Structures are given as C-alpha cells and as structure tokens.
Structure 1
Amino acid sequence: MVEVAPAVGSAGIVADEQKRPALPSLTGGRWWAAFAVFVLHALVFLPVYPFQKSELFRQIHQWVPMQLGAAGVTFFFVLSGFIIYWSFRPGMSVRGFYRRRVLKIYPTHLLAAAVFILAAGVPLSRLVVWAPNLLLVHTWVPKWTTVGGLNVPAWSLASEMLFYLSFPLLLPLVRRVPTQRLLLAAGLLMLAILALHTAYYLWVPGPKGIANAFAPRLVPGDASPFFELHAAQAWFRQPDIPVSPSYWLSYNFPASRLPEFFLGVFAARMVLEGRWRSTRLAPPLIALTIAYAATWVVPVNYKMSALLLAPMTAVVATMAARDLQGIRGLNAHPRMVWLGNISYAFYLIQFPVMVLITRMFIGGKEFGIGGWAGFTALSLVLSVLAAAALYHWMDLPIMRRFAGRRTVVAGSASQ
C-alpha cells in the first residue's frame, strides 16, 4: 500500500481536488470489529456439548453477551458512512457508485450463501428460507424464517444496501449543513436515534428487562448435534415465527439503522473540513468502554447500538484524524490492513465454516471447554484462509475488471 500525504489547506480542510489520503487505521480497525462478531458466533454457533450446558459456559456467556457482536456491527455501520462520504467526491457518477456497491457486496455474499446451502442442506423448495436472504431484503420482515433463515451474518447487508441506496439521494441535504454546525447536526441526529429507541421501548411490544440474551438454542442430550439450530432441517421446516417487534425494530430493521450510517457521514465531513482534529484515541476508547459496560444495565433496545453510537463515532473520527496527521499505530500495520481488507469476506464465511466443522467433527461427540477452544481456533484459521481466497481470487479481480474507475481510496476502510 502506498501512503498518500494528506492535502490540508490553511483551514485544515483536505482539498477535494486532491486524491484523498488513505486511512489504513480504519482498515485495520475493521478486523477487530469482525473478530468481535466471530467470538460471539463461536460461543453460540459451535454446538459443543456438554460444554454449552455447563455452569462454566453460563458464566462465560455472562461476560460475552450478544452486544459484543452488536458492537462490531455498529462500528461497521458508522464506518460505512464515514468511508462512503470520504470516497465519494463531486462529479462522481451515481450509476458508477451503485455499480461498485453491488459488485462489492453481492458476489462474496452469494458465494458464502452457496457454501452455507451446501453445508446445511438447505431445502431449496421453501423460497422463504433462502430467497429473501439472497436478495438482501430479508430483514424488512419480522419473521425468523427470513431474518435468520440462511447465512445469519448476512442480515446486516440488508441495512448496508439501504445505506448505499439512500446516500446519493440524501447527499445534497448533508452538504447543506454549514461546516460550523456539523457537530450540532451530529448531536441532533444522535438525540433522534435515542428518541427512536425510547419510542420502541415504551410503545412497541417486546422485552423490557435488562437481562442479556442470545444464548445458544439447546437440544436434549449430552452428545453434540450435527447442526446448530439455525442450520438444522427442523429450522428450515418451521412456519414463519414472529420476532419480538421491539427487538427487530431496534436491531434488524434497516430503516432504524440508517441514522447510524449518516453519523459516520457527518464524522467524515468534520474530519475533512477541520472540525475534528483530536488525535488522542484514549478518551473516546475510554468512553466506549464505559458505554459498553453500561449495556449490562439498560434494556435491549439500547444495548445493541444506541448506547455505543456516540463514542464509536468519536473513535472512527479520531482514528481518521490520526491517519491524516501521520500517526501510525497497530491498526495501520500492513498485516492489520490486510486483515481489514479480508474482514468482509471473513464476516460472511465464518458461519458456513462453523456449520461444516460442526457437521464433520463435532456432531455426535462430547467435548468440554478444551474442545470448544480447539474448534474455535480451527474455525478462525479456516475462516481467515477462506476469506483471503475470496478477497484475492474473487473480490479483487471482479472489482478490477468490472467496477470501472475507483470511487474508493486504496487502502481505505470501505467494504
């Protein structure tokens, strides 16, 4: 990767006529978000019995609840807004923008889904199980057979597609905000997000307590099953099962996550236009740690994203400001940048890999925590190798051959 020196004017504004500099720290940071999702998935999607039925597992799961993976998704949503604005400059083709987004998202998604279909033996006769997922429209309907009907991690891509569709349409409104009012605009958007989640909590049916959820779906017996429930034939045969309305609206519903994307857009404007110059990463990281700790004592509507959004946005903006100032930390190391580049494929292929490992090595046997740790390590290695193959042998060739002129800075954090 060739680093490009930032073009900064006297007012601290990165010049639009120059190629905007790469942001290697944001690329490297993507890996940690994807890894957080992996840790959660390994804990609940590798059906290692009797470990998952033990008191030790219950204690571990108290400290690694669903909001760990949700924090990684929140980072991705904010980061998407930041990088899309960073890389989309005046004069760029909207049609080209849409073409690049489709080429970047769908091939890897479809191949990961195909691996899952083969590994799990998905019955293709039931269109509701797989067709909405392949088309990335599945989270618009609050039914588990669509939200969790195929490759589970792909649920977030339905939100990403809405982000990309709306960005060129709403960009003129974003650009009308004066530079000196960007922080105010981001603050008002944050308040609107909190108000939205509060409305869901107060007036939409769903869990009202503060207990953490998302434990594995257990089946009888001490022998490990050959398929985790989301990959089992019994799951695919189910009629539509409603999701908790407030949970679905707070977490899965794409329109509810759209403001998070535009927080990232405003953060990018603040960095580009000199309104965010702080390079001290410790304060936003401390704030993020405190916010994450607070997720244990708030209702589920706030656990999954709302409570983490402000410090997460500050982390993204500060990491970008550090890159512009030439401050290179761990995330900017070439190995971390490479891991960040394959993180999208890693995010999508991890669950199909876990399904294969479960079917081939776990099912019918009994393991404790040592077995779970070993299969987690195997899942990590195989997922990284598969993601690297997808990125280098499919994603990069497709983008080079069909995407046309690049609208994303090389080495940036874009998906």
Structure 2
Amino acid sequence: MTAAPGRRANPESPARSVESARPALPSLTGARWWAAFAVFLLHALVFLPVYPFQKSELFRHIHQVMPMQLGAAGVTFFFVLSGFIIYWSFRPGNSVPRFYWRRVLKIYPTHLVATAAFILIASVPLSRLVVWAPNVLLIHTWVPKWSTVGGLNVPSWSLGAEMLFYLSFPLALPLVRRIRGDRVLWVLAGLLVLILAPHTAYYLWVPGPKGIENAFAPRLVPGDASPFFELHASPAWFAQPDIPVAPSYWLSYTFPASRLPEFFLGVLAARLVLEGRWRNTRLTWPLLALAIAFAATWVVPVNYKMSALLLAPMTAVVATLAARDLAGIRGLNSSPRMVWFGNISFAFYLIQFPVMVLITRLFIGGRQFGLLGWLGFAGLSLVVATAAAAAIYRWVDEPLMRRFSGRRATRPPVAPREPVDRVTTVVGP
C-alpha cells in the first residue's frame, strides 16, 4: 500500500509498493450508483410523458428542484471517476493494445444490447442509417445535430466522450508521469482554471442560450392524453431530416473534446492519492463544497451549470472516497450491496431510457395521469431498469470480460485490500 493519506510518499519514487498491487476502491464503485440514479431521476421526469402532469404548474416546480444539472452532475462524476480509475489500473508495462481492447470490450457489448433494445421498442427505421449508425459507432456526439446526438438511446451520448478519453490516455500518459510529484496539485488547479476558458468563449461568442433557465425540458405535444412516445423516441423524430441544436449548448455539454479535461482531472487526482499527497479522508467538506457549487448552478448560464462549477468539488469527492478506502474507512458506499449496485450502474445508465420507452408504449400512452401516476411509473421504471441491468451485467458483461479480457475474473470487492482489477472493469458512465 502507498503512504497513508496523512503521509507523503517519496516524490522520486512515488507509491512503489502500490504499483505492484494496488488495493481495491469499493467506495468509488458504490458511489457510481448514486451518479447513475441522479441521471435516472432527471430522465424519469423528462422522458416519461405523463400528461397532464408534465403540463402542470406542479411539474414546473418539481423540475426547478430537479433541474437538468442534476443529471449532468452524475455525468461529471462519471467522467472524473473514469480518469481516476483508468490511471489507477494502468501500470508500467501494461500493453496499450490490450488496454484499448479491454475498453472496447467493456463499453460496446452493453451499449449494443441497450441500442438493440431501444431500436426494437421504439420501432426505429433501420433504412435510415443516419438515425442509428453514428450512435452504434459512438461517433454521434461529434455532429452538432439533435437528430444525431439525441437520435437513438439518448444517454449513450456520454460514451462518445468516453471513447475519446480512452483513445487519448496512453498518448498523454508520458506527459502526466513527467509532472513532478510536488507540482501535480498545481497542475490540477491550473487545469480547473483552464476549463473555464472555452466555456466562457462559448458563452460570449457562440450562438445559443444565454440565460440561466433550464435548457433541457420535456418536448410537449398538443392534448391532455399522454402520447405513446416521448418525442426523442417517436416515429416523427426519426423521420425528420435534421433537427438543429444550439451550438453553445452542444459545445459545452456533449462535444467530446470539451469534456476531455474532466477525465484528466481524475487522472491527476489518482496521482495525488497514489503518492499520498491527498490527505483528506473526511467527506464533510468535499460534499459541502459540492452542495454549494450545485446551488450556484441555478444562477449561472447553461455553459457553466452543466459541469464547470461542479468539477473542483467533484474531483475532491472522488479523491476523498479513494483515500478513505486506502485508510480502511468503511462507509455506506463500500458495503457489498452498494458495490453490487455500482457494478450494474453502467448497464442501468444505458438501459433506463429504453425501459421508459417500453413503459410509455404499454401503460402510459393514450391515458391521463397526475403526480401519483408519474411516481408510479417512475418507480416501475426504476425496478425494471435495475432488473434489466443486473441481467446484462450477469449474462453479458461478466462472461465477456472473463472470457476475452485477458484477466482472470475475481469476486466483486468488499474490502479495501482486495485486488483493484475487479474495480477497473466497471469504468464507464
């Protein structure tokens, strides 16, 4: 194990013992569920077309309490965590081709299962390649059109950014390792400041929303009867040749290159923890800072509320959770049950929208419901999506990783001293 969180490792040979056997980080695995659940709450509010509830004043007030930045905060956590775990698990001498292979093997099978489910449930016209092919290949977020970015299984947009993260990591790793240990924190702080520059440029000079109101809300259709399809899953959506997106919104939220620095915040945070330079093991202050930053998102433009304000405290939360695991501090997130939820969170994140589309077609469309109806369908979506995610993890993800990843599978981590390899197989939003 490395130096304890309160002791600094030798900067000339950081964390030598950890390089050979890095311990597991179950708290980070368990915390993944809360990030995925935050995304689910927002999507259940927006993507379950329960009428007339979604057209009511009550809905407007609820959406103010659970705004778009709630789901965006979960994605920000995933991006920072991804960088942390990737650096944590990539040790000197690891094969770069095998690294790429493992990342593809971890991402694509679950993505393809969720995509196939969505295509079947939403009756997506396969004759229109532009609708589904970019999404299947995870290149759709590079195109500033809603018909492409949001043209299929909407949550999968984040995987386009993840693929860029994985591609760039081995290329940038030599530069990361050349940073002197006593300067890593300064580089991390500089990166946080640097992130504000493009978001400010998007706000000042790129067309798009300039106000502080939510830009992500239900797309409503006429009438008080609930539709059989939320608009992002409707035949009318897939039939349109083009749906423009506000350029500044696309650049600040879904454009992969704009999210790349968030990944490297996690990489640098992993170095701090590995070298014993992150000493804090108390979550109180990082969580308080995160709460304050989240509250501030209500009063800033869209370009800043989606991730920029949350990055510093989110990075602190990730580093502190890891430091707690290294110090042997057990908490809710490191319990076996939460680790299990964390393990299925990637599949849950991807399958939730297809499940909502299915429940809309079977039970919501053509009827009218109020708040209690929405709560019931949100609860049903949560149960069905969790069960589907568990099945995908059990019968798709685990068997494929065990058979083709090149590493022997181990049991899910239940204590900080188990090998880190099992944790590294659950990276992804």
Query: Fold-level match, TM-score > 0.5?
Result: yes
Letter in 2 for 1:371: G
Root-mean-square deviation (CA, aligned residues, Å) is 1.3
Which secondary structure state, in structure 2, belongs to the residue aligned with residue 274 of structure 1?
coil
**Contact 2:273–2:323 (8 Å) recurs in 1:** yes
Could you tell me how far apart the structure 2 residues matched to 1:364 and 1:211 are? Answer: 31
Shift of residue 405, structure 1, vs aligned partner? 2.8
* Residue among 86, 105, 112 paired with 1:84: 86
**Contact 2:203–2:248 (8 Å) recurs in 1:** yes
**1:38 corresponds to:** 40
Structure 2 runs not aligned, ≥5 long: 409-418
Question: C-alpha offsets along residues 76-110 of structure 1, whole Å, 9 cap, x if unaligned?
Answer: 00000000000000000001100000000000000
Shift of residue 8, structure 1, vs aligned partner? 3.7
Sequence identity (%): 77
Could you tell me how far apart the structure 2 residues matched to 1:252 and 1:215 are? Answer: 16
Which secondary structure state, in structure 1, belongs to the residue aligned with residue 20 of structure 2?
coil
Shift of residue 409, structure 1, vs aligned partner? 2.1
Q: What is the 5 A alignment of 1:11-410? A: 11-12=8-9, 14=15, 15-405=17-407, 409-410=421-422
Shift of residue 286, structure 1, vs aligned partner? 0.4
**Contact 1:207–1:246 (8 Å) recurs in 2:** yes
Could you tell me how far apart the structure 2 residues matched to 1:394 and 1:232 are? Answer: 28
**Contact 1:16–1:89 (8 Å) recurs in 2:** no
Could you tell me how far apart the structure 1 residues matched to 2:263 and 2:420 are? Answer: 17
**Contact 1:139–1:158 (8 Å) recurs in 2:** yes
Which secondary structure state, in structure 1, belongs to the residue aligned with residue 261 of structure 2?
helix
Letter in 2 for 1:409: D
Is 1:414 the counterpart of 2:414 in the alignment?
Answer: no
Structure 1 runs not aligned, ≥5 long: 1-5
Could you tell me how far apart the structure 1 residues matched to 2:251 and 2:59 are? Answer: 29
Could you tell me how far apart the structure 1 residues matched to 2:192 and 2:67 are? Answer: 24
Shift of residue 414, structure 1, vs aligned partner? 2.6
**Contact 1:337–1:411 (8 Å) recurs in 2:** no
**Contact 1:38–1:347 (8 Å) recurs in 2:** yes
Could you tell me how far apart the structure 2 residues matched to 1:68 and 1:17 are? Answer: 36
Letter in 2 for 1:358: T
Could you tell me how far apart the structure 1 residues matched to 2:46 and 2:148 are? Answer: 20
Count residues with an aligned counterpart.
410
**Contact 1:357–1:379 (8 Å) recurs in 2:** yes
Could you tell me how far apart the structure 2 residues matched to 1:16 and 1:295 are? Answer: 38
Could you tell me how far apart the structure 1 residues matched to 2:266 and 2:138 are? Answer: 22
Letter in 2 for 1:410: R
Could you tell me how far apart the structure 2 residues matched to 1:197 and 1:7 are? Answer: 37
Shift of residue 211, structure 1, vs aligned partner? 1.1
Question: C-alpha offsets along residues 281-330 of structure 1, whole Å, 9 cap, x if unaligned?
Answer: 10010000000000000000000000000000000000000000000110
Letter in 1 for 2:358: L
Shift of residue 125, structure 1, vs aligned partner? 0.9
**Contact 1:408–1:414 (8 Å) recurs in 2:** no
Could you tell me how far apart the structure 2 residues matched to 1:106 and 1:148 are? Answer: 18
Letter in 2 for 1:387: A
Could you tell me how far apart the structure 1 residues matched to 2:392 and 2:420 are? Answer: 19
Shift of residue 203, structure 1, vs aligned partner? 1.1
Could you tell me how far apart the structure 2 residues matched to 1:414 and 1:242 are? Answer: 32
Which secondary structure state, in structure 2, belongs to the residue aligned with residue 400 of structure 1?
helix
What TM-score, normalized to structure 2? 0.94
User: Residue 151 and residue 25 in structure 1: after superposition, are their counterparts in 2 closer, same or farther (change >3 A)?
Assistant: same
**2:415 corresponds to:** none
Shift of residue 20, structure 1, vs aligned partner? 0.4
Shifted more, 37-46 versus 13-22: the winner is: 13-22
**Contact 2:38–2:70 (8 Å) recurs in 1:** yes
**Contact 2:2–2:274 (8 Å) recurs in 1:** no
